[in-house]
Amino acid sequence: MAKNMSSIDVKDLNNSADVWRRKPSMRGLIMWLVLVGMAYLIVTYFTTGHVKLPHPLPSQRKFSARMLGSVQNIISNYLAQLPNVTPATLSNPTVAGNSFFYIQYPKASYNVCDQLALYIEARDNTNKTKTSGGDFLWPYLQTASLRASTPADEVIDHGNGSYTALFTLHWAGEVEPFVWFVLSSEQSYSVRKIRDQIPYRFAYDAIFTDDQTIEVTPCHITKDIYVDKAAKGLSFAPKAEVCDFSDPRIGSTWYCLKPKTLSCSNRSQHRGNIERGNSYLQQALQDEKVSLAKPEMLKNTGQVRTVKVMSEVSDSACLDLPPCDSGLPPKRANHAAGYYFRDLWKSKVCLARELQLKETIECLRNKHLFFIGDSTIRQWFVYLVSHLGKAMKEYKIWTKEGVIQMHRHAFDKVHNITLDFRFHYYPILGNWLNTTTIYSAIDLIDSLPGGRDTVLGFTMWAHFTYTNLTYYLSRLEPIRDAMIRLQERSAGKATVIIKSANTGILPYTPEITELLSYDLDQTMRVFFRDVPDVIIIDVWDMTLSHGGRYNVHPSKLVIREEIKMVLNFVCSNTTTGH
């Protein structure tokens, strides 16, 4: 195993292009001394071998008094929107093959900016109309020849098995409606129940080593770690004593089973373990019987399959739009965030335009862009590195196996443009990572200088579909506070952009579905919507209707349009005059 371990020379990492570091100051020196002192105390504490467990389980975490009411409102409002599912309805779920839709009140022709409505009816396995709602549906319109598409402006659940999907017609041509049936209300109920009651549906491992001995133990957000004693390579204490790496300051609980012979301070590597994660789930779901089918397209049973849209213009947003600036919602009420026309995203939030390379570089001159989150926001970093001209160079940080994905850094010395990517804190899926390179999002944000030349891009969802909403909210609260501190550090406001979750057909199992991503996304939007000067970009709508189909890592065409929206907000002072 030692030969396969990824490792990083931390000295090389810190010397690599002076990454993510502010200029030293007296305040910084004092903070450095405090941190060194804390580090000494922590190391001393762990090397004693006496590990206490003072931190509550994720579901028991105490929120600050200021945020408690907000969190309770988010949870109660969320619960109020869920369908009423009973044991009787669970045994008679919605069946996609029996369900259908059609165009309501079709006309011979339409004009751009007219409204189009779809009637959608959900039926059960006896082909009877359902008497309740709650099915997870994705309606959209498409004209393949024009590479044009749009998600619904609104999906109205009438609570009786019928739904109405409302659209604005944004382009001229022949338009065809589609409806993805993603999950039935009964499946949604089961998935959410599992999510809320079993917050340990994935497996994680830690390597502990003193360069002579290597031990691997399981880790998780809860002390109640299921141990598969037959699993290869696992070593654990007989009494299941744990190492507590929790940090209440950042809302994170993290525990690993203590190794047999090594101390907690010997932890060096972290990974997600898919194979053992499946074992966790099977053990936890012995009495649960949940099967999820892949999403299906509903049948269009109407006589009219497509509608003809006429116009003197090729396409129109059909709205009076403001400049792209902070304070705007991710999308307007009862409107989609935008639509595609010839593979270009046309925002319905603000006047976004296509920026040329020269003006983009001029806008980003002297700016430092920091991206914190998961691999879906790492795509922003990768795209910018390859599309900001020849002067932008990535300084790769090498391990024995290749480039480490925890930290990416690029710099354009001609225009003084800096790009950095870092993963958020635990939980993190994926292969072995050096734990010394894993920093909390709060510490990373607190290290930023602030001011107009600071741009922060943030997302946190894909690695949290395996946790419950309470734990997720406990992680968001200190990040929210760190963003507020960032804006207060300098007279000029930093640009703070939150990337929403995106669609992506993943393995359909109870531990991870589109529904869980959607729930996290909606929770994140509500939590950050009242934070001043924070911009939320609706990537969910951008990926839902695109003709390139679904992937948790969207195509370059979609990433290009996401970056266009980012740049329109970052460069708003220069674009509003056009």
Domain ranges of the chain: 89-192+291-310, 343-575
Query: Which H, E and C letters describe 507-570, residue by residue?
Result: CCECCECHHHHHHHHHHHHHHHCCCCCEEEECHHHHHHCCCCCCCCCCCHHHHHHHHHHHHHHH
Q: Name the CATH topology of 343-575.
A: Rossmann fold (3.40.50)
Q: Return phi, psi of residue 56, to 5°.
A: -70, 160
Q: Going residue by residue through the chain, which has 578 residues, state the pLDDT in tens, using 9 for 90 and above.
A: 333 333 333 333 333 333 354 333 434 433 433 333 333 333 333 232 222 222 233 334 455 655 566 666 666 666 666 666 766 677 788 999 999 999 999 999 999 999 999 999 999 999 999 999 999 999 999 999 999 999 999 999 999 999 999 999 999 999 999 999 999 998 888 888 888 877 667 889 999 999 899 999 989 888 776 665 544 444 444 456 889 999 988 988 999 999 989 999 999 999 998 887 777 676 666 656 666 778 899 999 999 999 999 998 899 989 999 999 988 999 999 999 999 999 999 999 999 999 999 999 999 999 999 999 999 999 999 999 999 999 999 987 755 544 456 789 999 999 999 999 999 999 998 888 888 888 999 999 999 999 999 999 999 999 998 888 888 988 999 999 999 999 998 877 899 999 999 998 655 565 568 899 999 999 999 889 888 889 999 999 999 988 777 888 999 999 999 999 999 999 986 544 43
Measured distance CA(100)–CA(176) in Å, rounded: 15
Q: Give the list of residues 6+ apart from residue 343 with CB closer than 8 angstroms, or none.
A: 147, 547, 557
Contact between 544 and 138 (Cβ < 8 Å): yes
Measured distance CA(446)–CA(479) in Å, rounded: 10
| DSSP state for residue 265 in the 8-state scheme | G
Q: Give the list of residues 6+ apart from residue 159 with CB closer than 8 angstroms, or none.
A: 83, 132, 133
Measured distance CA(433)–CA(374) in Å, rounded: 14
- Take residue 231 and report the two structure tokens written for it: 């699993």
* pTM for the full predicted model: 0.84
Same CATH fold assignment for domains 89-192+291-310 and 343-575: no
89-192+291-310 CATH choice from 3.40.50.2000, 2.60.40.10, 2.70.150.10, 3.10.450.240: 2.60.40.10
Contact between 218 and 257 (Cβ < 8 Å): yes
| DSSP state for residue 122 in the 8-state scheme | -
